[in-house]
């Protein structure tokens, strides 16, 4: 059964407390929080204070996705408010050292790759990951169309993890709907980041149920 990690970026922040309650009731598995700095990606979102507020109002695990330049500089701050803490392979941090630091701080470590990055580029780091996030859109903005090329990367990462006998979650983010979710799960994804598709649903509980049943 697929796990669901709705992207909070799509929510109305003035109604965030009630949205969190809706998702708890809907049975999602974690909450995906996209941190953007306007440097690594051409957009700015939020930082530690908002994630801290979210954490204070929900028992759901926090899945923090850092889309920031040289994220190793901020790992300690974000680790205090996260359960899963992920950063980009392309962001200019020492990859192995940053993954190990995240684990040392008590978080599950996630390594993220952009659409242009081949799966093979991160194979050597898989033993230090608890989760890998494959972007199926260009990071930075919501509402983009799903890139089918991401499915092959999911398949390759899954195969390599099995070859190395690793217990690894594979997350996919971008353009997830009923059709693409089905393809992603078939390819080997275990965690689906859903944004507009879930937030725009009249019955979020039913929508989450449909996706998790894949």
Largest CA distance in the chain: 46
Can you give the pLDDT at residue 202?
75
Residue 37 among the catalytic residues: no
Can you give the pLDDT at residue 13?
86
Q: Which one is catalytic: 34, 37, 63, 130? A: 34
Residue 173 among the catalytic residues: yes
194 HSE (CA, 13 A, CB side): 32
| Cβ contacts of 56 within 8 Å, gap of 6 or more | none
Structurally, the chain folds into a number of domains equal to 1
Can you give the pLDDT at residue 143?
65
The angle formed by the CA atoms of residues 130, 153 and 84, to the nearest 5 degrees, is 25
Side by side, the strands of the sheet bearing 31-36 are 3-4, 191-193, 169-173, 131-135, 108-113, 84-88, 62-67, 31-36
CATH number of residue 88's parent domain: 3.20.20.70
Q: Which one is catalytic: 83, 165, 173, 203? A: 173
Can you give the pLDDT at residue 1?
79
Q: Which domain holds residue 70?
A: 3-212
Nearest to 109, CA basis, from 72, 136, 137: 72
| Cβ contacts of 116 within 8 Å, gap of 6 or more | none
Can you give the pLDDT at residue 213?
80
| Cβ contacts of 185 within 8 Å, gap of 6 or more | 2, 192, 214
CB count within 10 Å of CB 141 equals 13
From first to last of its 214 residues, the chain has per-residue pLDDT tens of 789 999 988 788 888 888 888 888 888 999 999 999 999 999 999 999 999 999 999 999 999 999 999 999 999 999 999 999 999 999 999 999 999 999 999 999 999 999 999 999 999 999 999 999 999 999 987 667 899 999 999 999 999 999 999 999 999 999 998 899 999 999 999 999 987 777 777 787 888 888 878 7
């Amino acid at each position: 059964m697929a796990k669901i990690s709705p992207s909070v970026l799509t929510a109305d922040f003035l109604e965030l407390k009630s949205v969190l309650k809706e998702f708890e009731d809907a049975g999602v598995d974690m909450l995906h929080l996209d941190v953007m700095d306007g440097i690594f990606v051409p957009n700015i979102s939020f930082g530690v204070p908002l994630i801290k507020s979210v954490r204070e109002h929900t028992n759901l695990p926090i899945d923090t996705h850092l889309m920031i330049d040289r994220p190793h500089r901020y790992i300690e701050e974000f680790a205090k408010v996260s359960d899963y803490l992920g950063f980009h392979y392309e962001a200019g941090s020492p990859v192995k050292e940053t993954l190990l630091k995240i684990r040392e701080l008590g978080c599950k470590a996630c390594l993220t790759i952009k659409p242009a990055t081949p799966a093979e580029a991160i194979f050597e780091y898989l033993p230090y990951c608890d989760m890998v996030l494959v972007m199926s859109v260009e990071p930075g903005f919501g509402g983009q169309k799903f890139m089918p090329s991401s499915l092959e990367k999911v398949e390759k990462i899954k195969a390599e993890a099995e070859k190395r006998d690793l217990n690894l979650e594979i997350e996919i983010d971008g353009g997830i709907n009923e059709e693409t979710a089905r393809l992603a799960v078939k390819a080997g994804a275990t965690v689906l980041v859903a944004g507009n598709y879930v937030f725009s649903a009249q019955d979020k509980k039913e929508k989450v149920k449909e996706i998790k049943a894949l």
